[in-house]
Structure 1
Amino acid sequence: MASPLFNLVSQLYEFHYINEAKNWTEAQQYCREKHTDLVTVTNMKDMKRLINISAGYQSEAWIGLYYQTDGTRKWHWSQSEVKFNESETNWNTNEPNDATGVQNCGIIWKNLKWGDLSCNDHRYFLCYDENKTWTEAQSYCRENHTDLISGTKQIEDEEVKNEISHVGSNTYILTGLFRDTWRWSDGSSFSFRHWNKGFDYQARYDDELILIKENKTWEDALYYCRDHHHDLVTITNMEDQISVQQEAQFASTDHVWMGLHYAWSLDLWFWVSDEVVRYKNWASNEPMDDCDMSGAMETGGKHKWRKKRDSEKFNFICSK
């Protein structure tokens, strides 16, 4: 995908709209060669300025935010000026725990203990008395107030304690705590995010993937997926890769089978879904192609693809 781009030329935050279509990497290189870097958006004031200078342009424009596929998730507060400090946390016992899958948003209970929850779950939040998802709550607070409550000082405020004293003991309340692996191109640590409504910034598609924690050979995994779901998973782009690796991290084996197989007679790797193998994420120093080989993804590290004998047994991921 190629898009126009924004760039930041100095610490005075002078923005420029570059009306040239480039992909993200090309845009970053252009900004670094001719200015300073792709734009870093630090607050709502920056957002309004970007909207003003892009008035009249209809297409999307690149900014300096990118997803680290092999990065570690880091916690942030929604209010970008409030820095997250691990030494000041108040996690409940065994939290955060990703109990039901990837849980990247923070909640508090009536006792002020913290927990993690899926950002797609609907919960009350400290701003408005209505169930919303985390991103909906953040948008509402920013449009009607300032932001979701952020930082231990605000959470432990007497007014906050009074507000949540009226809720049930098992009720979750959303806070401005979230984690992700998105980073700014210029290396800054600003936590400000302003996602478009409907955009899945976690890059997941839970409803289309399922991790099977059973150890099977590649062929048995293929038949299992086709009998119980749709097929062994296919990865055709970076977005697919991110989604699959987020499922893979919960596997009980060091690799998971994918729907990638080697046809020795044709000297060809192919996806069982008949998709052409264009996007690739092979590890370096892989063995030579050989018969009875299929593709598996690492469940840790950089989630690279490995060539494995079909007879080896791993967990696997099905598409629904």
Structure 2
Amino acid sequence: MAGHLTPLLYFGSVLVSCSGFFLRQYHIINTLMSWPEAQQYCRQHYSDLATFESMKEVQQHLPDVTYSWAWIGLADDPSLWKGVMGKEPNSWRWSATGEHSQSGFQFWSSAEPNYGNLFETCVLMDLNGGWQDKACTLLYGFVCFAESSQSQVTYTYISTQKTWSDAQAYCRQHHTDLAVIESSSQNTDVYNSITPRASAWIGLYRVPWTWSDQSLSTFRNWRQGSPNYPSIQHCVASDGQVWDDAACDADYVVVCQTVSKLKTTVRQTLQTTADITLPENNAQILQQVEAELSRRGFKDVKLSWKMKPVKQITEKTAPPQ
């Protein structure tokens, strides 16, 4: 007589609660103040200065516009990048890591960096070994680096002229990345690798104009010709439709925001032969789902199980012959 096979199939629903969606409500403050005063006021009475992440948000705000120009949350504070290695979103960082300097070492040439012509957000080493910010679309040779298993770093100069982005792609394909420099000795090693002597791209870059609430939104809504005057105009005002850079000590009315997190529940049904009533299996599956959601950009994800009744499937015994 054939035996009975009784595999158990476990069904479970993962309830994924995501609070990474934001609802912004804008508030117009009809009091003239500077951008730093506006930031302080909004943070004290609301959430922060206004952030706009899409044209849809701009258009939704339009019916409430009663001002000619008002401060919003976009700015590019030069104290965080002008001759310093800061730790803020608009500070200098290295291509290889996407992170700011670990040591704080810098070797800027005289009067650099200056964000000239509002395009200079990539860095090259000049003929004297100093650093200069330049427009990333210019053509220069570049220095790649590679690190051995013994943590030994080698630098390779490529004389072929490329834009900073193309140089980055080349270094990542053939070496490790564009050169990272965290000390005087490394700066000397990079400088000595450039033969014959020439200016060359290194891996330093920055992303200008960041939001007061630390939003990573890259949405921009500049009016034609803006931003246009980098020496003193480091803050942004809006007329409700387009944006312009302005001196941060100018007086404008203010757009503040309050931000609410929207919770969204996603139900995912899983079918597995694993026994998800066992804590170790349960935890492992939840970790995998959480990691995947995090990779896709969901923040503050909380997972829980809601178990359905176990369904038992029995293979019937073959009838006697």
Q: Please say whether Structure 1 and Structure 2 have the same fold, judged by a TM-score greater than 0.5.
A: no
TM-score by length of 2: 0.39
Q: Name the TM-score, length of structure 1 as normaliser.
A: 0.39
Tell which structure's C-alpha radius of gyration is larger: 2
More strand by share: 2
